[in-house]
Amino acid sequence: MKKCAPEGARANLQPVAWFGQSSYLRTMTALDIRSARPDQLVAGQKTQWEIIVGLEVHAQVTSNAKLFSGASAAYGGDPNAHVSLVDAAMPGMLPVINRFCVEQAVRTGLGLNAHINKKSRFDRKNYFYPDLPQGYQISQYQHPIVGEGAIEIEPDGEAPIEIRIERLHLEQDAGKSIHDLSPNETYVDLNRAGVALMEIVSRPDMRSSKEAAAYFNKVRSIVRALGTCDGNMEEGSMRADVNVSVRKAGTKEWGTRCEIKNVNSTRFMQQAIEYEARRQIEILEGGGSIDQETRLFDPDKGETRTMRSKEDAHDYRYFPDPDLLPLVLDDAWIAEIKASLPELPDAKKKRFVADYGLTAYDAGVLSGDSEAAAYFETVAKGRDGKQAANWVTQELFGALNKSGLELAQSPVKADALGALLDLIKDGTINGKIAKDVFAKMLETGDAPGAIVDREGLRQVTDTGAIEKAIDELMAANADKVADVQKNPKAFGWWVGQAMKATGGKANPAVVNEILKRKLGV
């Protein structure tokens, strides 16, 4: 190990409250099975099959310190720079619960419309990996901090579907094994060891890859809005284990599931589900059987492959961690957390539709990301909401996607885009010129007013100048004057030519008014 970081301040690591032995048990309810819709059935060679999908979403808790130590939970850093003696499992080191991580888990549970268990317990999940120095993981099993909940999804704008959540539990992350630094040795970086994770386990309620992607995106939008996880999939702070099985359409029995580990993008998730479903259907229709196993998805080949046989709970030999007393959460503390929740995506979407007159689709796009929602509201403040949404979702997002930039990296800030809309409203520029100005804003980061003045792009509103241009246009195209009176559809040609003659700077409304008067249409 290179070095260990100091324990740091303990102010953020005080226990919430403790309880002794209890007969508290979580009641497991029977799974009820939602009937498959026809569009969710997959045709094999011999029959139709239904895909069953459940997700275990691993979301890294946004916290300065780790779950059981004062070491930094920051991403990156030199190898083993963020490691305390507790994280390294040195003899005699005892874990101390991070109160803030508990609060973040409760906050997330409330955002998922889930039941908060006032009594919960940490267990030891026993398995060996070189990057798990304790030889076990501190997790929660029978007594998680958050119980059952539900969220609604609308895959591709379809009718809402409720996806049930079975539980959310807290656990510590493992370190990272690095295999490509030496042909003969494996290196271990423990910076991630002990980082707090929330595992959000869904019921097997999804019936297609599209529904699974919509569910994952919805959970991501909720935790980002709550500030409990940054949702950064590239850095591994949010990923999912995907459980896939198939069964013949119309049957109630569950098929044997396979788990696809550590999928970190919704595109890969959909590809993995679709490949795995086809693989299982081919095996079953060929007379074979599905082995319960853990698989990995290879994005280069677009296929899953065997990783290891799938363990059951008893294989991990769970037992209560003797170094951690169980948690008891106070009603008043839970109520205080609930009162502090921000506006969540579903509520924000409804407000955007009601207050700004947006379509459900545009409202969903903007409300699904807290950063995009805040940007939009700044642009729309005191302005036309639909126009603001069009510029944000189409012009801005399109340009950022083309450039490979995130919204936070946009050269055009929300205030500047709002100022551009003001120039359109007051007649300084027209819509066509506005797009040219916007392109220069993206290129230079300059204010729209400065670009308009520098480039001489102010809209021509002088009716005399516009009339002169139209008179010259009519004189040069006398034969077409009579045509437009017989065929009103030809009027568009005159508008286009008039705008071209004025360099695109003429006020379109004035151009239309003068043309109609002079052409007699």
Residues 6 or more apart whose Cβ sits within 8 Å of residue 2? 78, 79, 80, 81
Average pLDDT over residues 201-215: 96
For Cα atoms 271, 273, 278, give the angle at the middle one, nearest 5 degrees: 95
For domain 463-519, give the CATH number: 1.10.10
- State the DSSP H helix or E strand holding residue 423, giving kind and residue range, or none if neither: helix 414-425
The span from the first CA to the last CA of the chain, in angstroms, equals 84
**Mean pLDDT taken over the chain:** 86
**Residues 331, 353: Cα–Cα separation, whole Å:** 35
Do 481 and 474 meet the contact criterion of CB atoms below 8 Å apart? yes
d(CA 305, CA 278): 13
pLDDT at 382: 94
| Model confidence pTM above 0.95 | no
pLDDT score of 24: 26
Contact 242, 91 (CB under 8 A): no
Lowest mean pLDDT among 64-78, 133-147, 375-389, 484-498: 484-498
Is it the case that residue 8 has pLDDT exceeding 70? Answer: no
CA 118, CA 99: separation in Å to the nearest integer?
14
pLDDT tens-digit map of 154-199: 988 788 999 999 999 999 999 999 988 888 899 999 999 999 999 9
Among residues 266, 160, 152, 257, the alpha carbon closest in space to that of 209 is found at 266
What are the residues whose beta carbons fall under 8 Å from the beta carbon of 99, sequence distance 6 or more? Answer: 12, 13, 14, 15, 16
Strands 48-60 and 238-248: antiparallel
Confidence of residue 76 (pLDDT cuts 50, 70, 90): confident
Place of tokens 């959310």: 168
Q: pLDDT class for 118, splitting at 50, 70, 90?
A: very high
Instruction: Name the segment(s) of the chain with CATH classification 1.10.10.
Output: 463-519
> Which run of H or of E encompasses 54?
strand 48-60
Q: How many CB atoms lie within 10 A of CB 189?
A: 20
Instruction: Dig out the tokens for 192 from the structure.
Output: 């991630």
